[in-house]
Structure 1
Amino acid sequence: MPMQQRYGAGPDQVDDMTTADLRANFMVEGLFAPGRIGFAYTHFDRMIVGGAVPLEQALEFGGGEDVGTEFFFTAREMGVANLGGAGWIEVDGERFALANRDVLYIGRGARRVVLGSDSADAPARFYMNSVPAGADIPHRLIRKSESKVLVLGEAERSNQRSLAMYIHPEVAPSCLLLMGITDPAPGSVWNTMPPHLHERRMEAYCYFDLAEGDRVMHFMGRPDNTRHMVVADGDVVLSPAWSIHMGAGTGPYGFVWGMTGENQAYNDVSPVAISELR
């Protein structure tokens, strides 16, 4: 399985970065290639992001050569969100059927993971977040209907959105991973408002369900020194603990958020007023 690397940078290095530099350090593109599986090892709390689009043939992984352990899951856990057509995942022979927007939690100790689509004409589109884990927690399928949904924001301010928690202490436990899906409401464009920092956790955003001609303008950086990246369907943005994160789309979109760090307290954040941004 090909494993890209993302080393990131500190806030004092951003000023010297070109657009290409920002994208090379804080974005992962091309994860959802038909018939392939790919990963990027990030040095943001050692989260791995991955994508797989199985067609006629299933795709599999499980070896630990890229992470320095016997198996991929020797010291890791993972969340897998299906952003495409119906599919299935086998974990050591146990099969789970995933519809669109279902999420599978894979606990520490798994050895062989196989991913497949019900139909190559409408393939599954599996997005993966994996982080180090220090506890054995059973695998669990969390269906869309089982997620905990919060409605946030205001339509009048173009930031109303629904936030669905999947891998979360209130829904399905994990060691350190948090994972969910957010959708702006029709007519709203902004996500994660107001912007904030969580100095004890990093976050990854996978933007999806964008039309071919639409983009999300994702803002990052220290509150007094912001930058932006233009993001297409399937692109992943890596948000270090020192950075704000918010975005606005030119059309409808959703995003998968995954977090890891010192705790799983979703509200352990420091809000930043819009008037303070520079």
Structure 2
Amino acid sequence: MTMMQRYGAGPDQIDAMNTPALRDNFMVEGLFTPGKIVFAYSHFDRMILGGAVPTETALEFGDGAEIGTPLFFTAREMGVANLGAGGWIDVDGTRYSLANRDVLYIGRDAEKITLGSDNADNPARFYMNSVPAGVSIAHRLIRKSEAKVLELGEAARSNARSLAMYIHPEVAPSCLLLMGITDPAPGSIWNTMPPHLHERRMEAYCYFDLSEEDRVMHFMGRPENTRHLVVANGDAVLSPAWSLHMGAGTGPYAFVWGMTGENQAYGDVDPVAIKDLR
């Protein structure tokens, strides 16, 4: 298991950052490495991002040494989205089978997590978001068909999209974590429109289902002082509470969004008018 660090920065620091510095502080690359578990510890609300691609051998974790607790889940919860082919996750002896776009919620106090693929030649790709949790909530598998889907945007503005809520009070409860998947409609390229801030929550995006030659242009920063990140398939972006977040793709794509903070009110946002962006 590898644990990277992302210390982040404040809005007054991004002017001094060149492209590599922005990427080092606000992006996580290399999460999906065959045969490995890779984590990145963000100092934005202590969210941990993870990726695991089990091949011939199953992968395990559960020790908390890297985060200063007896177990990884001593004081944490997690959502795991399968972005690849069929696979399974064993939580303390209970096995859950995950098809593509199924999500497993793992509650506080789990001890040993084992991840495997049904076919090593066409493996599962597990994407993980873990945040601190103050209460124990039962583990739960949320099938793609069980997610609550919202249809948003307009084709005429190239931002029509479907937003599927998985870990959310209206679908599957958690302590602080929210998690879901957004798909732009065919012909639409923009996500998260209008852009907005949510000062009481941070967010992480993991872009996936991009072709090798396509990229997403992810915009961040203060509304009056924006920056951009060029994102490839499997890359993740950290969005602190002070930053807006929106993106446009050069081809089809999707993304997993995960949030944590003071509340789980999805509508607790401050929209930003496009005309006010700089």
After TM superposition, the score normalised by the length of structure 2 is: 1.00
The CA distance in 1 between the partners of 2:256 and 2:76, in whole Å, is 20
User: Does residue 196 of structure 1 match 2:196?
Assistant: yes
Map of 1:183 onto structure 2 = 183
Q: How large is the Cα RMSD of the aligned pairs? A: 0.3
CA positional deviation for 1:176: 0.0
Map of 1:273 onto structure 2 = 273
The CA distance in 2 between the partners of 1:236 and 1:127, in whole Å, is 10
The CA distance in 1 between the partners of 2:146 and 2:168, in whole Å, is 12
Task: Summarize deviations over 1:226-267 as a string: whole Å, max 9, x none.
Answer: 000000000000000000000000000000000000000000
Map of 2:216 onto structure 1 = 216
Map of 1:264 onto structure 2 = 264
CA positional deviation for 1:128: 0.1
The CA distance in 1 between the partners of 2:136 and 2:114, in whole Å, is 20
Map of 1:26 onto structure 2 = 26
The CA distance in 1 between the partners of 2:2 and 2:53, in whole Å, is 14
Q: Which runs of 5+ in 2 are unaligned?
A: none
CA positional deviation for 1:18: 0.2
The CA distance in 2 between the partners of 1:134 and 1:20, in whole Å, is 36
Task: Summarize deviations over 1:150-209 as a string: whole Å, max 9, x none.
Answer: 000000000000000000000000000000000000000000000000000000000000
Mapping 1:63-212, distance limit 5 Å: 63-212=63-212
In structure 2, give the amino acid aligned to 1:124: A
The CA distance in 2 between the partners of 1:2 and 1:236, in whole Å, is 16
Determine what percentage of the aligned residue pairs are the same residue.
81
Map of 1:9 onto structure 2 = 9
After TM superposition, the score normalised by the length of structure 1 is: 1.00
Task: Summarize deviations over 1:37-63 as a string: whole Å, max 9, x none.
Answer: 110000000000000000010000000
CA positional deviation for 1:15: 0.3
The CA distance in 2 between the partners of 1:144 and 1:106, in whole Å, is 17
The CA distance in 1 between the partners of 2:16 and 2:70, in whole Å, is 39
In structure 2, give the amino acid aligned to 1:135: V
CA positional deviation for 1:121: 1.2
**Number of residue pairs matched?**
278
Which runs of at least 4 in structure 1 moved beyond 2 Å after TM superposition? Answer: none
Q: Which runs of 5+ in 1 are unaligned?
A: none
SS in 1 for 2:66: coil
SS in 2 for 1:24: helix
